[in-house]
C-alpha cells in the first residue's frame, strides 16, 4: 500500500472515530498532496508525499516559533499536535550516530576538503537521507566536518 493510500485510510478511520483534530490535519495533508499533483501535473509517489510532509512539518515549526514569540500558547499547542500527527507519516528517523556516519562517508566519497565543497556533500546526502533525518542538522554536521 502506498503512503498516499495509507493517509486516505487513516482519514477514513479518523472520520469513523470522530477524531476531529486528526481528521483536520490529515485533510490538510491530502489537500497539499493534491495541490502538488495539480501544480506539477504528476501523480505523487511516496518520495513526493514524504517531501510534502516534511514541508508541512517545517511550516509548523516556523509557526510554533512565531507563536511562542507572541505568547500564544493556545496556538502553539494546536501546531504541535498537528506536527505530531504529520510526523507519523515520515520514515523512521536515523539516530545522530547514523547521521554522523553518513556525513563522514559522504565527505570521504566526494573528496570534499573545505567549506566550498559543502554543496557537493549535501547533494550526495540529500537523496540518501531525505525524510530520514532533519536536513538542518545534517547541514550543520557537514559544515562542522568540513571546517576541521
- Which of 49-53, 66-70, 130-134 has the lowest average pLDDT? 130-134
CA atoms within 13 A on the CB side of 15: 8
Q: How far is CA 90 from CA 13, 111, 114, 145, in A?
A: 19, 31, 32, 27
Task: Give the residue from 65, 87, 109 where a domain finishes.
Answer: 87
pTM of the model: 0.78
The tally of domains found in the chain comes to 2
Of the chain, the end-to-end C-alpha distance in Å amounts to: 45
Residue 137 has pLDDT above 90, yes or no: no
**CATH for 109:** 1.10.10.410
Q: How far is CA 76 from CA 12, 23, 25, 72, 82, in A?
A: 27, 19, 15, 6, 10
Long-range contacts of 105-112 (CB under 8 A, 24+ apart): 106/142, 107/142, 107/145, 107/146, 112/146
81 and 101 in a common domain: no
| Structural domain containing residue 113 | 96-146
- Cβ burial of 19 (10 Å; 0-12, 13-18, 19+) is middle
The Cα 112–Cα 130 span in angstroms is 21
Stretch 109-120: mean pLDDT, rounded? 80
108 and 65 in a common domain: no
77 and 24 in a common domain: yes
126 and 61 in a common domain: no
14 and 73 in a common domain: yes
Stretch 22-41: mean pLDDT, rounded? 96
61 and 33 in a common domain: yes
Amino acid at each position: 500500500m502506498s503512503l498516499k493510500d495509507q493517509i486516505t485510510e487513516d482519514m477514513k478511520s479518523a472520520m469513523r472515530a470522530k477524531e476531529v483534530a486528526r481528521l483536520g490535519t490529515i485533510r490538510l495533508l491530502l489537500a497539499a498532496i493534491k495541490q502538488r499533483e495539480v501544480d506539477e501535473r504528476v501523480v505523487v509517489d511516496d518520495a513526493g508525499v514524504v517531501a510534502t510532509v516534511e514541508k508541512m512539518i517545517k511550516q509548523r515549526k516556523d509557526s510554533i516559533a512565531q507563536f511562542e514569540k507572541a505568547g500564544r500558547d493556545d496556538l502553539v499547542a494546536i501546531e504541535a499536535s498537528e506536527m505530531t500527527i504529520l510526523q507519523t507519516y515520515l520514515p523512521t528517523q536515523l539516530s545522530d550516530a547514523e547521521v554522523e556516519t553518513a556525513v563522514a562517508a559522504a565527505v570521504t566519497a566526494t573528496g570534499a576538503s573545505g567549506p566550498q565543497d559543502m554543496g557537493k556533500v549535501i547533494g550526495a546526502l540529500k537523496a540518501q537521507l531525505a525524510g530520514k533525518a532533519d536536513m538542518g542538522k545534517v547541514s550543520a554536521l557537514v559544515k562542522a566536518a568540513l571546517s576541521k
